[in-house]
Structure 1
């Protein structure tokens, strides 16, 4: 296949407008990024627990759109860890607005910005229900539970709408 064989314009309507799982928002919408994320999660039939562990896991795996580091609260990018939740719930940091849909996580003691985030990241610290799940996953003894839950949620998403898996 070559470019001249492809009608690139026909694919424009298929471009995503937002994808909180990959920390992407195409433009400034009247609906906040975290609400777009909840809407997408609902369409995907995800529970709040599944949404929480998928987003946290995808951040530590470094799957953000365009390779951005928003929400990648880890020094071991590419490893499935609970670092996203540990950092998110750590009172060492203060969250400061840093532009459109962007925040800095500044160390309260040193004043250094250690991480950046979006509204879709920080909703796991500000929404009481999502924060409760984040706090569970942030615990040292929840690392294995987090990995198990992430794999189960990932499998659910990957198998959604697969007609070959439906018992007939």
Structure 2
């Protein structure tokens, strides 16, 4: 299959995959830069069209998974918030006085299972999403540059 693809097509498709790392420099760069590259070249090259869709679908899917993870984590943190004012960190009676507030740190402040369990699970899952994103983007860039049709796992087809 690599014999029928030009070096330009393979490089362009690899650049589309690799351009998702622009999110570290440009806000929403993982969507905007691949979108611009894909839109500019999708009608000329079928290989580039396929990989542009794959890269964008993968990034949109991971964004959706991150939003869902955040929405699942919010109730745990809202359940934790009323306890923050009870006996220790910032007490309700501190608001009766004018400035300055009285902050009290004691040994049990960081011993809230209501915070650490969901934060730990949510953090591990967020780290997992991040690692999957980095790993499969690098893998897609390498395989695409070799001329293979790469398909990301756990991707929802938003762009068909």
Which protein has the bigger strand share? 1
**Could you say whether these structures have the same fold, taking a TM-score greater than 0.5 normalized by the shorter chain as the test?**
no
Q: With the length of structure 1 as denominator, give the TM-score of the two structures.
A: 0.25
Which one has a larger percent helix, Structure 1 or Structure 2? 2
Higher Cα Rg, which structure: 2
Larger RCO, structure (CA 8 Å, separation 6 or more): 2
